[in-house]
Amino acid sequence: MKTSELIAALAADPVPESVHLRRRFAAAVAVGLVGALALYLLFVGPRPDIAEAARTVRFNLKFVVALTLALPSLLLLFRLARPDAKPGALALWLFTPLILLALAVVVELVVVPSSEWLPRLIGHNMRYCTTMIPMMAAPILAALIVAMGAGAPQHPGWTGALAGAASAGLAAFLYASHCTDDSPLFVATWYPIATLVCVGVGALAGRRFLAW
């Protein structure tokens, strides 16, 4: 087949489907969050002493860390839908949650006696944390992958991994209100493990569904 013949077929189909990447992406975040929230309300729910907990720094830090992961991941992910995208300085913001967690761990190690370190790290909920965060992240990740399917990311695997990180950040934000383990030692251990699960699944999904 000659290229000019292919071009004839392409030119006969000149008006693209109306694909609005921004709208699709926003809808995916909304749909994913609704799914995650439904799972949260069905299976997880807020901890009973949430009002008291909300007055502590340790509890609130969990939400800040989750948001500093979710927001830059989402913004960067949306940018990467275009094939000519460059991550730019936005990618550096992904280090924020890591830096925050590292600082919080240092402070915790200073203010808490060493006999308390291991119990706080192990906490009460680690298995629940590492299963519920990926579970609540699943609908968000699925919706993000579907929306990104309309895009043309240069690196499907990495883009999927980033979608996994974004979904983990949002899921962790919800989960944090349930979890009674507030010590940065716990958060810096088990939340990242849950996040890595999502990142891994996202990378596989990206390679499978975002190649073009």
Partner 1 sequence: MHALPVDGPADDPWSKMMKAAMAGDEGVYRRLLEDIGRSVRAMARAAFARARVGDADIEDAVQETLLAIHLKRHTWDANQKLGPWVNAIARHKIIDAMRRRGARRADPIEDFQDFLAAPQEEDPHDLSDAKRLIDALPPRQRDIVQSISLDGQSIAATATRLSMTEVAVRVALHRALKSLGVAWRRSVE
Q: Using CB under 8 A, which of the segments 27-35, 83-91, 96-104, 121-129 binds partner 1?
A: 83-91
Site for partner 1 in 10-29 (CB under 8 A): 10-21
Amino acid at the residue 95: F
Which residues within the stretch 43-82 sit at the binding site for partner 1 (CB under 8 A)? 75, 81-82
DSSP code for 15? S
* DSSP conformation letters of 21-76: HHHHHHHHHHHHHHHHHHHIIIII---TTHHHHTTSHHHHHHHHHHHHHHHHHHHH
Between 134 and 206, name the residue whose CB sits nearer to partner 1. Answer: 206
Is residue 95 near partner 1 by the rule CB under 8 A?
no
* Contact by Cβ (8 Å): 184, 107: yes
Q: Which is nearer to partner 1, 20 or 124 (CB)?
A: 20
Q: Name which position in 42, 48, 88, 127 contacts partner 1 (CB under 8 A).
A: 88
Q: Residue 10 CB, nearest distance to partner 1 (Å)?
A: 5
Q: How many residues bind partner 1 (CB under 8 A)?
A: 36
Q: Where are the alpha helices (DSSP H) in the chain?
A: 3-11, 21-39, 50-53, 57-79, 96-111, 114-122, 126-148, 156-175, 184-209
Q: How far is the CB of 157 from partner 1 (least distance, A)?
A: 13
Question: Binding residues for partner 1, per CB under 8 A?
Answer: 1-21, 75, 81-84, 86, 88-90, 150-152, 154, 211-212
